[in-house]
Amino acid sequence: MAVVRSLQHLNPLLSHRLPVSAALVAGIILFILVAVGVSFAASATPVISQSTSPFAAYATIMPGQPLSALEAFNCGAAFANNTAMSVFYCMIRPKDGPISSISVNGEKGKIESLTIRTSDVRVGDLIEYWGHPDLTRVFQRSFTLAWDEGIYVIGSVQGRFNYWSHANYVLVMALEHRP
């Protein structure tokens, strides 16, 4: 008690309370300062934007589509409409982006599978586009991912397998041709 009295003598604010209106104004000012500080902090936080899938540009040539869908792409046919086998194969080579090449296999007038060679696609990107895989197998230097929708991925591992691991090939198959 003696300590409080000695402090009251040193600081007159301890012995006198602020008027209600001054305390209210001080509270409002404090609230405004905190709100402004929070809004500045929130605006400085980076916003994670949804990136677009590099595969979206090729949605029209996914398995099950007619071979005529390939007319919109520069797809040089290695062989086409072999009457004995009725098969089709061609290669698309995009000029830029994370896809290096797309091998298209078709049969009986339909696209059956795509083998996509990627240059800068990572496991985290694939999970963002398609969700978590239904099967994950990790080996010493490689991995395999599979989704029930007929999507398979082969990639390389440097160190530990993680979201930054590189996906080298993406195979998209028609559901009736899945292994």
pTM over 0.85: no
Query: Six-digit token pair at 111?
Result: 């696209």
Q: From CA 37, how far away is CA 31, in angstroms rounded?
A: 10
Q: Is there a contact between 64 and 109 (Cβ–Cβ < 8 Å)?
A: no
In this predicted model, what pLDDT tens digit does every residue of 25-83 receive, in sequence order?
A: 777 787 777 666 655 554 443 333 345 788 888 999 999 999 888 888 888 666 555 54
Contacts of 156 (CB under 8 A, 6+ apart): 141, 142, 143, 165, 166, 168
Q: How far apart are CA 58 and CA 97, in angstroms?
A: 13
What are the pLDDT digits (tens) for 113-166?
Answer: 999 999 889 999 999 999 999 999 999 999 999 999 999 999 999 889 999 999
What are the b/e assignments for 8-29, b being 16+ CB within 10 Å? eeeeeeeeeeeeeeeeeeeeee
What pLDDT does residue 50 have?
Answer: 45
